[in-house]
Amino acid sequence: MPETETLTGARKLIDDLVGDRAAEWDRAGLIPDDVLRTLATRGLLCVGVPETFGGPGASSAANGEFTAYVGSRCSSLRSVMTSQGMAAWTIQRLGSPQQHAEYLPKLAGGKLAAVAFSEPEAGSDLSAMTTTIEPDGDTVTVRGQKVWTTAAHYADMIVVVGRYGSGAAAVVVPASAPGVTVSRVPQPSGCRAAGHADVRLDDVRLPASAVLGGGQPLMLLVTTALAYGRISVAWGCVGILRACLDAARGHARSRQQFGKPLAGHQLVGRHLANLLTAEQIATRVCEHASRCWDDGSPEMVVATVLAKQVSAVHAAQGAAAAVQVLGSAAAHEGHVVERAYRDAKLMELIEGSTEICQLILADHAVSMPGR
Amino acid sequence: MSMDQAVTAEGIEQAITEFVSGRVKAEVPADEDLFASGLVSSMFAMELVVHLEQAFSVQILGDDLKRDNFRTVQAMTALVARLRGVEQPADA
């Protein structure tokens, strides 16, 4: 299967590019430009883009496993992938055939992208968004303030979600357009090299052809765009759990205390059992959600929220357990488990916080058909 | 569900009504405004999009995602019929 071959080669490339440098990138708060460009040029930051547009055309399942692989090595790089993939997915979903042809080959061929949702007064409540995309003949004017836009620091184009008439639209804003100011979030607590930034849009004038869709209900648009971000974050959390499990079991086998390996102490063994359980639960729930995507099943909507919720919560707990097992061995900045601890917690905040996901799932529990 | 026998505007409307009624556990008249009645959340709206795509082998992209196309069972029927090139009665 060509798709599998592509991504197998891609894993080797990830090994070569990331190697043991993730800690250094985390401390510097920056992924080197050549690493991002090398991956972007091969379409590896958005492997779901169809082959017709020059992308690898991976299924959601293959995309997910690759995302977990990258996530097990560097959550910052995985976050950049999530943003790029979400930009591509949003363009695929909302864009016209002309816009697909215009933007998707760029995203699969070297350009970097981010998607801007959050605002100072619109975090969990995205319906409070005030950014406007105002049509004016064959141009539009974009005004507003976005915050915490992942990967915006690296992005060549930023997909901005805003109000459009009585509904909403997304608009593809070149980062270099006059009126766009991108300022980095100083020292984020997790995924520190993911290029989180605030994006100011002061009367940014663009051709009307940059507007994706237009007139959709805001929350349908947000739910649609976020669906990709959620499944991607969920798989990224599987990667975090795999990295933590590997580090914890390796340490528990080799480190001796009280005359035997740590793994021989039952209280440590319980942490290992919990980590393995968490990794398996997260993997299965993500596999299920990806199968729904690949089958085009309407269940994908809820299965994706469930996958994000389950994986992020387990990753945060699993990373904390791994910190406990490794003790002082991991208690320094940049260690894989120490990064996982910070990164996993951030995953409980973004793409719908744990509480927002719970509200969606509670709503589903109330309304779902009986069986 | 096989759509081969049901690719008439009437068949489409019947299949959509079944799906929506099943999900909201209530009778849904074809002209009922699903948004005004509070029957449709943004999550369910996206489920509807994916369901229509899968059940009728169509792609609903860009401008077709606008709210008016999902407001009623009738509107969804007209959307699917248009995307499939089904002949529609003049009043649809």
A56 and A138: one domain? no
Residue at which a domain ends, from A192, A216, A240: A216
Q: What's the pLDDT tens digit per position in A248-288?
A: 999 999 999 999 999 999 999 999 999 999 999 999 999 99
A223 and A355: one domain? yes
A93 and A14: one domain? yes
**% residues pLDDT > 90 (chain A):** 89
Extract the runs of DSSP E, i.e. beta strands, from chain A.
Answer: 113-116, 132-136, 139-149, 157-164, 167-174, 180-184, 197-207, 211-216, 256-257, 260-261
User: Does the beta carbon of A91 lie under 8 angstroms from any beta carbon of chain B?
Assistant: no
Candidates B61, B68, B76, B79: best to mutate against A (most CBs of A within 10 A) is B61
Here the tokens at position A282 are 């997260």
**CB–CB contacts below 8 A, A to B:** 80
> Judging by beta carbons within 10 Å of its beta carbon (0-12, 13-18, 19+), is residue B8 exposed, middle or buried?
middle
Of A92, A94, A301, the CB nearest to B43: A301
Q: Residues 6 or more apart from A82 whose CB is under 8 A from it? A: A67, A150, A228, A229, A232, A233, A236
User: Does the beta carbon of A227 lie under 8 angstroms from any beta carbon of chain B?
Assistant: yes
Q: Residues 6 or more apart from A351 whose CB is under 8 A from it? A: A226, A229, A230, A233, A308
- β-strand partners of A135: A140
Residue A33 phi/psi, 5-degree rounding, is -55, -40
A94 and A126: one domain? no
Residue with tokens 């990064």: A339
Of A94, A217, A222, the CB nearest to B62: A94
Of B24, B35, B67, the CB nearest to A216: B67
pLDDT of residue A131: 97
Question: CATH number, domain at A262?
Answer: 1.20.140.10
State pTM to two decimals.
0.93
Q: Does domain B9-84 have CATH number 2.60.40.10?
A: no
Q: How far apart are CA A116 and CA A100, in angstroms?
A: 19
pLDDT of residue B90: 54
Question: Number of folded domains in chain A?
Answer: 3
pLDDT of residue B62: 83
How much of chain A is in helix, strand and coil states, percent to nearest 5?
55, 15, 25
Asked if residue B65 has pLDDT above 90, the reply is no
Q: Which domain holds residue A300?
A: 219-367
Question: CATH number, domain at A150?
Answer: 2.40.110.10
A141 and A84: one domain? no
pLDDT of residue A244: 98
A164 and A44: one domain? no
Q: What is the mean pLDDT of chain A?
A: 95
A237 and A174: one domain? no
pLDDT of residue B39: 66
A103 and A119: one domain? no
Asked if residue A126 has pLDDT above 70, the reply is yes
Burial A121-150 (b: 16+ CB within 10 A, else e): ebbeebeebebbbeeeeeebbbbbbbbbbb
Asked if residue B38 has pLDDT above 90, the reply is no
Helices A218-254 & B42-56 angle (0-180, nearest 10): 90
Residue at which a domain ends, from A167, A199, A216: A216
Mean pLDDT of A178-194: 97
Residue at which a domain ends, from A47, A73, A107: A107
User: Does the beta carbon of A137 lie under 8 angstroms from any beta carbon of chain B?
Assistant: no
Confidence of residue A135 (pLDDT cuts 50, 70, 90): very high
Domains of chain B: which residue ranges? 9-84
A210 CA to chain B: closest CA distance, Å?
Answer: 12
A224 and A363: one domain? yes
Contact call for B42 and A297, based on CB within 8 A: no
Q: What is the ipTM of this complex?
A: 0.82
**% residues pLDDT > 70 (chain A):** 98
Contact call for B46 and A363, based on CB within 8 A: no
pLDDT of residue B88: 64
A82 and A136: one domain? no
How much of chain B is in helix, strand and coil states, percent to nearest 5?
55, 0, 45
pLDDT of residue B92: 42
- For A304, the closest chain B residue by CA position comes to B43
Asked if residue A53 has pLDDT above 90, the reply is yes
